[in-house]
Amino acid sequence: MHKDVKQILYTEEELRRRVKELGSQITADYYGRRPMLISVLRGSYIFMADLTRAINLDLTVDFMVVSSYGAGTVSSGQVEIKKDLSDSIEGRDLIIVEDILDSGNTLYYLLEVLRARKPASIRLCTLMDKPERRTKPITADYAGFTIPDAFIVGYGLDFNERYRNLPYVGVLKESVYEK
Ligand code: PRP
């Protein structure tokens, strides 16, 4: 275990199993359709790679870079699109793929932007859901794990851009972000 991690919340094996389940659920729900999975970078890059390979459909992928946190642990409420989608979403069935749904600020804003481009449908898939932190009326259609309000890293999730490559999800030691 990494020295800055206090506790492992989900092991590689637990993540793998849950992502497979989400993939099967999406495969069943979208049977006969061709959804477009939109990965909200950077946090979702590992989840996106594993989730898309767990879905047995003729899907397409696209990517957006959105930033809301800056260098800290609390959402600023300011969301900026740093890289937009490459393709048109008009008439498409969108599945937005996020690593974590926290205050809901990012998705609240993003949904507004995407709805204006007239997709056929939009659903949200988040690996981690922290409902107790929510300040915007956003719920996930697919959620991997509902987690308590702790600062977690790994499997794509960062603190100041570090720890994304940990293969598990762990709770960061307070001493790391209280410095
Ligand atoms: C994280 C995460 C979500 C957002 C969720 O992104 O990937 O996009 O915060 O928080 P919210 O529900 O409070 O808006 P972050 O801005 O940390 O960027 P990253 O994906 O590059 O890690």
Give per-residue pLDDT as tens, 119-176: 999 999 999 999 999 999 999 999 999 998 899 999 999 999 999 999 999 999 999 9
20 in any annotated domain = yes
140 in any annotated domain = yes
158 is catalytic: no
168 in any annotated domain = no
In the three-class reduction of DSSP (H, G, I as helix; E, B as strand; rest coil), residue 165 is classed as coil
55 in any annotated domain = yes
167 in any annotated domain = no
Name the residue of 44, 65, 69 to mutate for ligand 1: max ligand atoms within 8 A of Cβ. Answer: 69
CA 131 – ligand 1 centroid, Å? 14
Cα separation of 61 and 92, whole Å? 12
Report how far Cα 114 is from the mean position of its chain's Cα atoms.
Answer: 16
165 in any annotated domain = no
Please name the residues in contact with 52: beta carbons below 8 A apart, sequence gap of 6 or more.
37, 59, 61
> Domains in the chain: how many in total?
1
Cα separation of 113 and 110, whole Å? 5
Give per-residue pLDDT as tens, 27-65: 999 999 999 999 999 999 999 999 999 999 999 999 999
Cα separation of 33 and 145, whole Å? 26
